[in-house]
Chains A and B, each alone.
Chain A
Amino acid sequence: MRIGRPLTAVALIGFVALMLLPLYSMIVLASAPDDGDLSGLGFHGFALFDNIGQIMTDGRFPRYLMNSVLIASAVSVLDVAISAAAGYALARLRFPGRAALLNLVVIALSLTPAVVMIPVFVMLSEIGWLNSYQGLIAPFAASALGVFLVRQFALGIPVQMLHAARVDGASELRIFLRIAVPLLRPALLTVLLLQFLAQWDNLIWPLIAASEQELWTLPLALSSFEGEHGIVYHLQTAAALISILPPLVLFSFLQRYYVSGLTLGGVKR
């Protein structure tokens, strides 16, 4: 067993190196001045900032970047607001429609997006919302996972605390905003982060609902990078690198909220 330990360590480090190799080659490729060497193993000059400058000044890339920021932010803020309200109400208030909401959340959790995609597309095309910001935002304005996560967390808010506030004469809305929301902060940050990352990476919906280039987001721009510039791998990789940075930065600050969202249900508490 003692002999096994250094071996384990070496094997682990080897595995991590293998996992990181594509990332290293991404930086090499994004820094290349041309497409001369695509192996991504060795640097041939360092043109990363030239490449990024070229992408940002040439074509519509800044517009796509802004669209992504705008849509992912709007969606995640809306989702947090709607999920927080609904999740708290489900956990701590009795009201008509409570059972209906619970059923709707369970239904939405068990459905796959592929099922609702076509009818939502048809519906938005009927009301003229294709190729509009609202058409890219509204279908994701809340989430079953968000409501569920907030509800689970809100079940931990002591009922006595809410009662005490009621006795003091606080309105229900005030109790929600001033007592529940601060206590729900970790759950709300998890929802915000998960939804922002999901929308930042959403390819299929903009692909379907935004044919006009003014509304394209980063994933769409990356997926048809070749079309605009010809196949220029080093620029395409630099653009991909730009697209992965915000999620990595967000993640490094909010790591524990991300992991708690992921492992929910996987671990017995």
Chain B
Amino acid sequence: MSTVEARAGAGLAAPAIVYFVLFWALPALAALYLSFTSYDLSGTPQWVGLDNYRQMVTSDEFWSSAWVTLLYTVFAVGPTIVIALVVAVPLAKPGRFRAWLRGLIFIPAVMPLVGATVLWQVIYSTGGLADTIAQAAGVGARPWLTDSDYAIWALLVMVIWKYVGLYVIIFVAGLQALPANVFEAAAIDGARTLRTFFLVTVPLLRRTFTFVIVVAVTGAMQSFVPAYLLTKGGPVNATQVLPLYLYNNAFSYSRFGYASAIAIVLLVVLLIFAFTQFTLVRSDEE
């Protein structure tokens, strides 16, 4: 390597290297360290070994939070992906009208999440849109956000509405990148629409599926804003997802050691998930 090139490269890369060391690499190591300590920001962290992790696995609130996160992830990702794919197939065909519909469906996904969540606060308020629709359907008004039977489903409806358009667009991009001759061949063979969908389209979209599932699952597992704004994790922790549990422990109770342990557990679960998904796809493609 020439010295001029080496110096230029190092110079261009230096700000990024400093940034990633200061704001990612060192903090990650610090988080691991803090997870073995008791620390409330005053004084210095006290080493407690595995106490935080031990406390976590014996805490009912942690397991309830893990369960809520699992429920939230499964019922946010599953319906979103199914709806997005079903909508994307007819929308992927060319045409100005379809392009227009795609743009409209995408609007909620472009809205800032905080603004959207504030809107849904009103939708779920007494006499709001949710009550109005429920009354018209003969179900009657409900305390959507303050009854533990409804709160998590209310959050999920909002989250699905917010993100389904994003996945429609990703599926459309995936569908449009598929070779047209495969579908022509299937049509010549006389394959029916549904058959083509399950036997040709879905397998060909494998790569898109993996991407979508990883993005959706990791996104859902880290979701904080809807639960924080709509329910504050209530009623009685019914919507306290792990990121909110972490936030409460750190910034409401100043338990920075315990909160760091939650963060480490969340990270490990996310990494295992992403790694498994990508390994599956790679072995599948070989």
Q: Which residue numbers of A lie inside 8 Å of B, CB to CB?
A: 1, 4, 8, 12-13, 15-16, 19-23, 25-26, 29, 37-41, 81-83, 85-86, 88-90, 93-98, 100-101, 104-105, 107-108, 110-123, 125, 138-139, 141-142, 144, 147, 171-173, 176, 197, 200-201, 203-204, 207-208, 218-219, 222-223, 225, 233, 236-237, 239-241, 243-244, 247-248, 251, 258-259, 262-263, 265-269
Contacts and interface: CB of A to CB of B under 8 A. Distances in A.
A173 B91 CA distance: 46
24 contacts: A20-B107, A22-B108, A22-B123, A82-B15, A90-B13, A94-B6, A96-B6, A98-B9, A108-B24, A112-B263, A114-B243, A114-B246, A119-B26, A141-B23, A144-B24, A203-B225, A218-B112, A222-B115, A223-B118, A223-B228, A244-B116, A247-B112, A259-B169, A265-B211
A223 B260 contact: no
Interface of B: 1, 4-17, 19-21, 23-28, 30-31, 34, 41, 87, 90-91, 101, 104-105, 107-108, 110-116, 118-123, 125-129, 131-132, 161, 164-166, 169-170, 173-174, 177, 192-193, 207-208, 211-212, 215, 218, 222, 224-225, 228-229, 243, 246-247, 250-251, 256, 259-260, 263-264, 266-267, 270-271, 274
Contacts of B5: 93-95, 172
Contact of B112 (A26, A117, A138, A219): A219
Which 7 A/B pairs are nearest by Cβ-Cβ distance?
A95-B9, A172-B8, A86-B16, A93-B9, A119-B27, A119-B30, A116-B27
A218 B114 contact: yes
Contacts, number: 288
A141 B256 contact: no
A259 B166 CA distance: 9
Given A22-B161, A259-B169, A266-B170, A116 B28 contact: yes
Given A40-B123, A85-B12, A111 B108 contact: no
B263 A114 contact: yes
Nearest to B171: A266
Q: Interface residues of A: mostly helix, strand, loop or mixed? A: helix
B114 A12 contact: no
Contacts of A26: 119
Nearest to A25: B129
Nearest to A140: B23
Contacts of B23: 116, 120, 138-139, 141
A119 B31 contact: yes
A38 B122 contact: yes
B16 A101 contact: yes
